[in-house]
Structure 1
Amino acid sequence: MPPVSTLIRWLLFALLAAAVGGALLLALLTVDTALSVWQRLQALPAGFRYLYISLLSLAAVVIAGLGWRLLRRRRTRATPRAVEPVTRERIQQRAARLLELETAVPAVDDELTDLDARAASGELHVAVFGAINAGKSALIRALVPGADTASDVIGGTTQVVHHYRGTLPDGRELVLADVPGSQEDAGREALARAEVLRAHWVLYLCSGDLGRSEAAEVDWLRAFGKPVLLVLNQADRYSADETRRLLGRLAERSGCEVVAVSAGGEEEVEVETAAGIVVQRRPRPPHVKPLTGVLSRRLAAGAGAFEAARQHAVLKGLDQQLGEVETRRRSELAEAVVAKYTRRAVVGALAAVAPGSDLVIQGALGTGLVRELASLYETTVRQIDIDALIDRAGRTLRTTTAVVLAIAGNAAKAFPGLGTLGGGLAHAVAYGMIFDSLGKAVAQTLAEAGRLDGEAAAQAFADRLRQVPAPRVLGVLRDVVVETVRPSRDPKGPA
């Protein structure tokens, strides 16, 4: 009897011969059928022959297209969230929801009351905005003679918002708002920006070419749809040619209409006296006629023409503030969720006393973590997506120091005494690091993408595990110690 290996080789040869023969037979039948069809087509009239060939070609194209659509790899696209319009009702609902979460919110009711009051007054509000020392208060004194505004060479003189009533050359009345200079401390800058959004028109003051921060502020104003007039102050320092070139650069860079003025103030001059030449300070007359002319022309339609845009800017500003509060609150709640599941993972790791216990994420615990975070960020997730994320996380763990630490801990549990205690602590710390990193990676992805992006979350998880800061390890270790000694501190426990 021939050996078994010989029989297997003969069997494989027979199968190969049958496969080759079948392929040849199929090829012959295909060729024969094609020739038979071609001969029959030749016997048909030309019209029928071309119609038949066209139908065959169309069927081939359709089959190829269907096959390509079925077999090609499709990239999952995120369904964009519908952008809700910014309305008063939405603002109030968001504020009420945050108050239910015991979260401090901006003074929404006060802002809406002021919004209605200004609309009912019919007054035209113009805010004078710009960097500190740009000459805002001096410009208001030039536009409203007799206005008592504070001005000093030290930046940040204007600490609060002041309103002054003025009259344009055509008799039109307006209310000018003198706001704190931008680029000051956060509180006064927020005060200035809020008042700017409440105004119908904005005069943005500068004393030269726009710096990066000033250009960003002009872009911020335009993003809110605010009508902006760029005012070049202290234009008397430049020659006519320099002023013309500077106005062109400002208009090109800002996309706004630009006007040159001199708000006045004081200037130093050298005066020859009997005692010699001395330096004296004298008033410098203002020159704001170009500005008043532009304002008369641009504001001729009255406050009503700009009221809808003003209300939209205020509501949009409130919406952004509430969004920032929601983001901070969700971040705090996400931290609490991650900490809760990290402690549960620590407890589970301490309970797993058998060497070789599963070192990959505990499925039920990992699923609960992802689902609770998704619910917090108001995102619907499928179980298949959660399973895929946990599978990616498990593959990542095979190349990280955290899983090595867990393996060492499980191995040490095989030894009695100190080895068991040390191994249990190491295993628990490893699980804590894993869940802390996974939870924060998922929360980061949900906050940035608005959905559960498995690839992004897995990459963030890997990055966090590779760069574990000492405070995180110490925090997890503290939880491990607390969970370890908690039973012995329980006064109701067994004696």
Structure 2
Amino acid sequence: MKLQRPILVGGLGLSFSLWMLDSWQDSIVQVGEFGLLSALAVGGGLWLLQQNRPKASVEQLDIMLVERADVENAIAKAEAVINQLAQESEQHPALGNLRTQVNQLLLDLDRQELKLAVTGGKSVGKTTLIEVLKSSWQSEIKQKVSFQETAPLFIQAGNKSDTDVLAEVKTSDFLLFLTNGDLTDSEFQTLQQLKAANQPVLLVFNKQDQYLPDERASILLSLKQRTQGNLVATAASPIPIKVRKHEADGAVQEWLEQPAADIQSLTQQLGEILAQQAQKLVWTTTIRTANLLKAEAKTWLNDIRRDRATPAIEQYQWIAAAAAFANPVPALDVLATAAINAQMVMDLGNIYQQKFSLEQAQTVAGTMGSLMLKLGLVELSTKAVSTVLKSNAVTFVAGGVVQGVSAAYLTRVAGLSLVEYFQQQEIALDSGNNLNLEKLRQTLQNVFQQNQQMAFLQGFVKQGVKRLLPEVAVEKAVG
């Protein structure tokens, strides 16, 4: 922001002078009037030069611009997921739309028209600013630009939520985020979300003319500190000025005159950004869209695979329960020793295209068993199952019931954890036996906590008892 207002510059210079006088009060006697004024002038000049030092537009964008090769790679990854979905579900209803979007991405690589979106809260001047840009700026630039105004953010009423508006914004190449004062917490958090999504955005302090010079300077300073200088100030529709004319005969005429829009700083910066980075802005949008498309296709694929994985997990959890019930052991470490869990690892790996040999599967099962022991999940699950079973003496004293139900529970947790872990892996890129132990540990903890609700445990134990005990005992246990 260039300091072109005499009152603002004078006010800031006065503040600087007072600070200097206070700091030098002990030695001011030794400094002549001319020396003091010279020092103030030099200090103020250096401060103004620092404020007016030009910054590269790319630095102000505060995003990571991409190259064409990066975009092509992202599109290829999205297409690989879609092809895998087609391979596993030939008639999936989403395939047609997904492939259409891939074709559009390939066309967008060479798109020449830039999409400029304008967003912000209610009554910040979005419509007016777009009208001014169309009338006084669009014809002066070489690039083709289309304008898009979003629905207002941060209001409860309306058909579109903030999430919907932000999803719409992310399809634009460049975003003007309007505010008419200092940032609220909601506005700041939204800007942080856009930055995290690598969305090119410029904060516009509109309606600056509605503030007194000292108020305006304070707001600008606050905005600049919170946005690292990625900011311009405008007045798209300045407040009308009352003009008074005194005639020779003493008559006085008064009328309101509409000042011209003050958007010079905005148009200058926009022009520089578009002239230098137009194509890369398009590529940045395209790679962002490609990543979203890949995530959408991955979600469909994971849904299909989970539907296939769930019956397999349920089958192995009851096999593990029967084995532990028939041959209970004092220390429950089923996952580290039972071959059935290694077989479950192999079957789930096949579903998620993570190929394991039997030896590798046994290693994975042993690793998960070791992690469960270290995390205390084995002890916690045994206590939880015992607590539910103690409510009925007949059920609790039946030999091996606690071990059997606990084995089933831990096998289920292990299977669901593998599913969650595999869903996060890249399609056909990650090696199935190259486990990220830290990520697997976190997944185990999360899945275990999700399956610790008492209502779920009671239902699970009841189902396990029905499978392990004779019908008569079941009737006594649950009847």
Q: TM-score, normalised by structure 2?
A: 0.58
CA contact (8 A) 1:335 1:440 kept: no
1:95 corresponds, among 79, 82, 88, to 82
CA contact (8 A) 2:324 2:404 kept: no
CA contact (8 A) 1:406 1:426 kept: yes
Deviation at 1:129, TM superposition (A): 2.4
Q: Residue 262 of structure 1: SS of its match in structure 2?
A: coil
Deviation at 1:176, TM superposition (A): 1.4
In 2, Cα distance between the equivalents of 1:458 and 1:307? 43
Residue 452 (1) aligns with residue 439 (2): no
In 1, Cα distance between the equivalents of 2:78 and 2:442? 36
CA contact (8 A) 1:126 1:202 kept: yes
Deviation at 1:232, TM superposition (A): 0.7
1:400 corresponds, among 380, 390, 403, to 380
- Per the alignment, residue 183 of structure 2 pairs with 210
Indicate the larger mover: 395-404 or 426-435: 395-404
Residue 480 (1) aligns with residue 456 (2): no
Cα distance change of structure 1 residues 436 and 394 upon mapping to structure 2, 3 Å threshold: same
- Per the alignment, residue 365 of structure 1 pairs with 340
Deviation at 1:231, TM superposition (A): 1.0
- Per the alignment, residue 150 of structure 2 pairs with 179
CA contact (8 A) 1:219 1:254 kept: no
Deviation at 1:204, TM superposition (A): 1.6
- Per the alignment, residue 340 of structure 1 pairs with 312
Cα distance change of structure 1 residues 400 and 300 upon mapping to structure 2, 3 Å threshold: closer
- Per the alignment, residue 232 of structure 1 pairs with 205
Cα distance change of structure 1 residues 201 and 350 upon mapping to structure 2, 3 Å threshold: closer
Residue 289 (1) aligns with residue 268 (2): no
Q: Residue 148 of structure 2: SS of its match in structure 1?
A: strand
Give the residue type in structure 1 aligned to 2:278.
F
Cα distance change of structure 1 residues 266 and 483 upon mapping to structure 2, 3 Å threshold: farther
Q: Residue 334 of structure 2: SS of its match in structure 1?
A: coil
Give the residue type in structure 2 aligned to 1:174.
V
Q: Deviations over 1:1-22 (max 9, x none)?
A: xxxxxxxxxxxxxxxxxxxxxx
Q: Deviations over 1:84-114 (max 9, x none)?
A: 9743333333233335443747944555566
1:318 corresponds, among 287, 290, 294, to 290
Deviation at 1:361, TM superposition (A): 1.4
What are the residue-to-residue correspondences of 1:399-438 with 2, within 5 Å?
399-402=379-382, 405=385, 428-438=404-414
CA contact (8 A) 1:235 1:261 kept: yes
In 1, Cα distance between the equivalents of 2:439 and 2:197? 32
CA contact (8 A) 1:183 1:189 kept: yes
Q: Residue 264 of structure 1: SS of its match in structure 2?
A: coil
- Per the alignment, residue 253 of structure 2 pairs with none
What are the residue-to-residue correspondences of 1:23-422 with 2, within 5 Å?
86-99=73-86, 100-101=88-89, 102=92, 104=94, 107-111=97-101, 122-144=112-134, 167-168=138-139, 174-183=145-154, 189=162, 192-193=165-166, 195-222=168-195, 226-264=199-237, 287-291=261-265, 293-294=267-268, 297-298=271-272, 301=275, 305-323=277-295, 326=298, 329-330=301-302, 333-334=305-306, 337=309, 340-350=312-322, 354=326, 356=328, 359-361=332-334, 363-374=338-349, 382=360, 383-393=362-372, 396=376, 399-402=379-382, 405=385
In 2, Cα distance between the equivalents of 1:463 and 1:109? 34
Deviation at 1:286, TM superposition (A): 6.8
Q: Deviations over 1:353-379 (max 9, x none)?
A: 646358431612222333444555555
CA contact (8 A) 1:374 1:452 kept: no
Q: Residue 452 of structure 2: SS of its match in structure 1?
A: coil
In 2, Cα distance between the equivalents of 1:462 and 1:115? 39
Provide the alpha-carbon RMSD of the alignment: 5.0
- Larger RCO, structures 1/2 (Cα 8 Å, 6+ apart): 2
Give the residue type in structure 2 aligned to 1:92.
E
Deviation at 1:465, TM superposition (A): 5.7
Give the residue type in structure 1 aligned to 2:213.
A
Q: Deviations over 1:152-173 (max 9, x none)?
A: xxxxxxxxxxxxx973457976
Deviation at 1:397, TM superposition (A): 6.2
Q: Deviations over 1:356-406 (max 9, x none)?
A: 358431612222333444555555663434323324536746633526857
CA contact (8 A) 1:129 1:202 kept: yes
In 2, Cα distance between the equivalents of 1:292 and 1:463? 48
Q: Which runs of 5+ in 1 are unaligned?
A: 1-82, 146-164, 270-281, 488-495
CA contact (8 A) 1:345 1:365 kept: no
Q: Residue 263 of structure 1: SS of its match in structure 2?
A: coil
In 2, Cα distance between the equivalents of 1:440 and 1:289? 56
Q: TM-score, normalised by structure 1?
A: 0.57
Deviation at 1:439, TM superposition (A): 2.6
Q: Deviations over 1:115-170 (max 9, x none)?
A: 6777777434321122344331232234346xxxxxxxxxxxxxxxxxxx973457
Deviation at 1:430, TM superposition (A): 2.5
Cα distance change of structure 1 residues 283 and 167 upon mapping to structure 2, 3 Å threshold: same
Greater C-alpha radius of gyration: 1
Percent of aligned pairs sharing the same letter: 18
Give the residue type in structure 2 aligned to 1:236.
D
Deviation at 1:256, TM superposition (A): 4.9
CA contact (8 A) 2:177 2:204 kept: yes
CA contact (8 A) 1:127 1:201 kept: yes
Give the residue type in structure 2 aligned to 1:400.
L
Q: Residue 275 of structure 2: SS of its match in structure 1?
A: coil
How many residue pairs align between the two structures?
367
Q: Residue 176 of structure 2: SS of its match in structure 1?
A: strand
Deviation at 1:201, TM superposition (A): 2.9
In 1, Cα distance between the equivalents of 2:345 and 2:71? 26
